[in-house]
Amino acid sequence: MGTKLLETLEKCYVLGNITTMGNGTIPSEAETIESDRLWLVEQGQSADGGLIDPFGRRVTYLRVSVTDRCDFRCVYCMAEDMSFLPKAEVLTLEELDRICTAFAERGVRKLRITGGEPLVRRDVMQLFRRLGRHLDSGLLDELTLTTNGSQLEKHAADLFAAGVRRINVSIDTLDPGKFRTITRRGDLARVLKGVRAAQAAGHEIKINTVALRGVNDDEFDTIIRWCGDEGLDLTLIETMPMGEIDEDRTDRYLPLSMVRADLRSRWTLEETDYRTGGPSRYVRIRETGRRLGFITPLSHNFCELCNRVRLTCTGTLYMCLGQQDAADLRASLRLAPDDDTLLHASIDEAIGRKPKGHDFVIDRRHRDPAVPRHMSVTGG
């Protein structure tokens, strides 16, 4: 592709209808396409080529949803009768690898593969093996996975061979009947087999539990003890107002500030500076020796240190979980299939308008979701 044509495509795609970015205004009287393009690049990168947002936060963590499909229908995440994306709209594994590689080249050090349920995607292990080369080269520090655990027994050893060392498994209850109710179709025994298989393969496992008032709020002590016995860390997560579901979230929302205060009456929670690169804030439970994390998007906004962006399986880049600002990286890929210059310019433009934070609210006055897309679309 000729240099002039590529610059023109960059101009058409990157500038689009955007007139402002962060605290700046795109120069309307720039003399050349190149000066406009360079201005955009400067807004989204540091002197070393890394990605810096308008608030000075360095983006080093990309979460990648490889599918919006899931074999569960968790009540707080999805409606029971979900409509999933046509396969033609979903990026190929090669395209996902190309975008992830571009981000790694720009300073992203951690990739987390998510869904939907990522392990239900056909041939997804090919993607893990391809991305593993960036661990070998030193371009990436970490390749991780979030899963519901239903397919983990089958893939645990291959994931370890590809370079994955840490896996987050979503388990909201240890009661098999309640687990089936929450997930609408999940088998707890199968998930626990997956956890044990992953541990046997050498993975470090963290359990993610969404705190749901009136559903599992009587089980936190049980889950903490189980995690201690099994050598697992645990993170509690507030439910998030994303996408239409079949119930009223205000009935289920449980502030983790209340949970933490309650747990302190029975457990010794010791402060720690441990971080994994995500939004969780950890304490150490003296009685079990394991870590307990809290993700609090509503009761305590964690945006001030945000280092993350999220890529959907269609190539849409969301710069914030709780905002609708997005960039279409699929268009950049397919306009210039043999040259990543346009892709990099599009990434720069997107990072240059990453918002300061989200506006999640759940109360009786805010019954509608904060954003219309489901978590399974954005990547959990």
Using one digit for the tens of pLDDT, what is the confidence trace for 61-91?
999 999 999 999 888 887 777 778 888 899 9
Residue 16 lies in a domain: no
Q: In angstroms, rounded to a whole number, what is the distance separating the alpha carbons of residues 145 and 168? A: 6
Quote the mean pLDDT of the chain. 84
d(CA 50, CA 236): 32
More confident site: 345 or 161: 161
pLDDT at 320 over 90: no
What pLDDT is attached to residue 144?
98
Query: First and final CA of the chain: distance in angstroms?
Result: 37
In a domain, 260, yes or no: yes
pLDDT digits (tens, 9 = 90+) for 23-51: 445 454 444 555 655 555 555 566 678 99
pLDDT digits (tens, 9 = 90+) for 89-106: 999 999 999 999 999 999
Span 289-301, pLDDT tens digits: 999 999 987 655 5
Q: Provide the pLDDT for residue 265.
A: 97
Count of domains observed in the chain:
1
Of 1-15, 105-119, 196-210, 349-363, the least confident: 1-15
Average pLDDT value for residue range 194-220: 97
Whether the per-residue pLDDT at 176 is higher than 90: the answer is yes
Q: What is the spatial order of strands in the sheet that 204-211 belongs to? A: 269-271, 281-285, 291-295, 233-238, 204-211, 166-170, 142-147, 110-114, 61-65, 308-311, 316-318, 326-328
pLDDT (average), residues 313-317:
96
Q: Which two tokens stand for residue 346?
A: 């599009």
116 three-class SS: coil
Q: Residue 198: in which H helix or E strand, if any?
A: helix 188-201
The answer to whether position 62 is within a domain reads yes
The CATH number given to whatever domain includes residue 292 is 3.20.20.70
Q: How far is CA 16 from CA 4, 102, 233, 325, in A?
A: 18, 22, 45, 14
HSE toward the beta carbon, residue 305, CA cutoff 13 A: 10
Whether residue 194 is contained in a domain is answered as yes
* Assigned domain for 205 exists: yes
Question: Does residue 367 surpass a pLDDT of 60?
Answer: no
More confident residue, 246 or 212: 212
Confidence of residue 321 (pLDDT cuts 50, 70, 90): confident
Q: What type of residue is 284? A: R
373/51 Cα distance (integer angstroms): 26
Q: Is residue 130 part of a domain?
A: yes
At residue 347, the pLDDT reads 94
Q: State the average pLDDT over residues 144-155.
A: 98
Which segment of 156-165, 175-184, 313-322, 368-377 scores lowest on mean pLDDT?
A: 368-377
Q: Is residue 25 part of a domain?
A: no
Domain assignment of residue 174, given as a range = 45-322+357-378
pLDDT of residue 355: 87
Question: What's the pLDDT score for residue 83?
Answer: 77
Q: Are strands 233-238 and 204-211 parallel, antiparallel or unpaired?
A: parallel
Asked if residue 18 has pLDDT above 50, the reply is no
Whole-angstrom distance, CA of residue 313 vs CA of residue 54: 26
Q: What is the predicted pLDDT for the residue at 7?
A: 53
The model's pTM: 0.82
Residue 277, token pair as written in the block: 């690169």
Q: Does residue 190 surpass a pLDDT of 80?
A: yes
Q: Please list, in sequence order, all residues whose beta carbon lies within 8 angstroms of the beta carbon of residue 178, skipping any fewer than 6 positions away.
A: 215, 216
Q: Indicate whether 86 belongs to any domain.
A: yes
Of residues 164 and 55, the one with the higher pLDDT is 164
